[in-house]
Structure 1
């Protein structure tokens, strides 16, 4: 059983870093963003470098990620796991917090050393007005390096998360080369829309605010082989 999320991610993109890895749709805005393995790795590396070089965190430090399913959320989560942070979901004391602009109020329940806010803009543009006490994630992360060497061992929660992901991938019958479409509203757990596909060597089409009327056409256009929709 795999016990290192960063290694699983690296293995998932090693064969062909140019192929689509994660495609994001938001049917409420009309957004479509497609990331190859190489592009996703670039964002992940920048995020990990931000965590280590700018925030100065060490393996095991706790992080909060108050973000909905999104391609930028994938970068933040994988960046945290690459830096061996422990992502927690119960409000408390953390070293770093990443929050969607819509979650700024909820973030006040957390005590955090550093706070980053994400607008989740379709073009990854920086925020025009940054909430007090927060740093704009996009502006901060862009200045960091495109390469990061993950720690050789996984983080404290990696084995448990990957065990869940492997079980979920088996339940969904995912195999290398599959392309799974996930309804992000019905299945917001990153085990479903991020880790299970990675462990199986599959790519994923993540759909926010899924319009059911578009499902058949999208399945055909994206060459989807599996569907996880509520």
Structure 2
């Protein structure tokens, strides 16, 4: 049985690979656009960091303590590509990816600090001892990912905020939201990471694209028209 997330990444990098797949609007006029090829590149690098530096693999649990953001999308896809379980609520996990490393609790095998500004080359300021700087480390990893171990479709892929688990085999049918083919979908970051991931998966599986917008960004008619958003 195939792993839907792996099939999805194959589709993103092979079909219309230069077309926008994920566009982010953040504070301070920040705009980031990732084509299918560039999105796959970021996901591959992050998967390689997880596998090669943190010994992550099928069944490893990753807590995403991140807001809805283009980098949190990268982290989730990278984890699913490895066959890991993404935890959206609670601290019962081996690894923690967080934008607030100074508030990280104990009990994780590793903590990874994820700076949110697009141009950040390293974490701004001092990090607690032992915390990994994602921005500084990820660029050194390979652009192509090859798993050391085959993921298990029967293992959990994501644990929702209410505690319900969805298997890898069911990720696109049991977790992804339903969207029409080729949609250019507005996703509001203020609705939370779980909703953003579900909507993005639902759009990408049907050859569409996502415009993810931070809550502080005004949704003007000009923005909606420029991005050719199908509806809000």
The two structures have a TM-score, normalised by structure 2, of: 0.84
3-state DSSP class of the match of 1:226?
Answer: coil
Q: In the alignment, which residue of structure 2 is the partner of 1:22? A: 22
3-state DSSP class of the match of 1:81?
Answer: helix
Verify: 1:208 aligned to 2:214, yes or no: yes
1:1-230 to 2 correspondence within 5 Å?
Answer: 3-26=3-26, 28-101=27-100, 104-105=102-103, 107-108=104-105, 111-133=107-129, 134-150=131-147, 151=150, 154=153, 156-157=156-157, 158-166=168-176, 168-169=177-178, 173-175=179-181, 177-189=182-194, 190-212=196-218, 214-227=219-232
Deviation at 1:156, TM superposition (A): 2.9
Deviation at 1:187, TM superposition (A): 4.5
Change (3 A) 1:3 1:84: closer
3-state DSSP class of the match of 1:218?
Answer: helix
Q: Distance in 2 between matches of 1:180 and 1:193?
A: 8
Aligned residue pairs total: 217
When the two chains are superposed, the root-mean-square deviation of aligned CA atoms in Å is 2.2
Structure 2 residues not aligned, in runs of 5+? 158-167
Q: Distance in 2 between matches of 1:97 and 1:201?
A: 31
Q: Deviations over 1:153-191 (max 9, x none)?
A: 54532234322345x22xxx421x221111110253233
Q: Distance in 2 between matches of 1:130 and 1:3?
A: 39
Q: Is the 8 A contact 2:47 2:82 kept in 1?
A: yes
The two structures have a TM-score, normalised by structure 1, of: 0.84
Deviation at 1:202, TM superposition (A): 0.8
